[in-house]
Amino acid sequence: MEADEYALMDAAEQAMWWYRAMHGHAAAAVADARPGGGALLDAGCGTGGFLARLGRAGCVGLEYNPAAARRAAEKSAAAVVAGSVNELPFGDASFAAITSLDVLCHAGAEPAALLAESLRVLRPGGVLVLNLPALPWLSSAHDARVFTVRRYTRASITAELRAAGFVDIRARYWNALLLPLMILQRKVLQAGAGAPSDVGAFPAWLDTLLFAATRLEAGLMRLGLQFPVGGSLIVTATRP
């Protein structure tokens, strides 16, 4: 991403409703997978918001941008390495879990390499947790700003993970209740090619309402409801 987008993410990711919702889904997915006491890698950790959310020993971050990697280490107090998700600088079977949030979709990611490397550095039974932008037709100026070049469906990510060798794949849509507003924002109000990304500060009342909608949705998902569509996907898969 451009330096200004890293700056926006750094400023927003611990307070903005969308980051808090995504981090909540990812943390719940890790907890539900029960990867045990081994190390966790956040691959493509950006400026460290999710590492800070985890706040536990044994977490390692990896980020391509050296300045962002330094900021992630400062924010989270975790060990953060500058490197590529396409060629992970770690030994085989090093981690019990890997999280990678909105990275597989990025222009700098090579999906086949990222998934092969994730499989390699996970121990047998280890879990990969992905968050991904959903629905290819929802591509917008926001995606261009943050270098998102791929949006996924439940079927497409399941097929990619299965082809890479993962098993026990579970992909669920979220940001479903707010999808009509997302379509309005990206396809109507900010449809121009020069429109800014959606990352930034929201009025407190609006941020509170939007986050409440995501919490309601998360509660319904934990009760077993599967939304047929949504703006994002939370995905878990296991190394055999």
59 has a pLDDT exceeding 90: yes
User: What pTM does this model have?
Assistant: 0.94
Which domains, ranges and CATH numbers included, belong to the chain? 3-238 (3.40.50.150)
Q: Is the pLDDT of residue 229 over 70?
A: yes
pLDDT at 1 (0 to 100): 65
Q: What is the pLDDT of residue 161?
A: 98
pLDDT of res. 98: 98
| pLDDT of the residue at 68 | 93
Q: What is the DSSP string of the chain?
A: --HHHHHHHHHHTTTSHHHHHHHHHHHHHHHHH--TTS-EEEET-TTSHHHHHH--TTEEEEESSHHHHHHHHHHH-SEEEE--TTS-SS-TT-EEEEEEES-TTBTT--HHHHHHHHHHHEEEEEEEEEEEEB-GGG--HHHHHTTB---B-HHHHHHHHHHHT-EEEEEEEES-TTHHHHHHIIIIIT-STTPPPS-S---HHHHHHHHHHHHHHHHHHHTT---S--SEEEEEEE--
- The pLDDT assigned to 10 comes to 87
**Reported confidence tier of residue 9, pLDDT bands at 50, 70, 90:** confident
pLDDT in tens, 89-139: 999 999 999 999 999 999 999 999 999 999 999 999 999 999 999 999 999
User: Would you say residue 2 has pLDDT above 80?
Assistant: no
Window from 32-41, 132-141, 169-178 with minimum mean pLDDT: 32-41
- Mean pLDDT value of segment 40-67: 94
Q: What is the pLDDT of residue 197?
A: 79
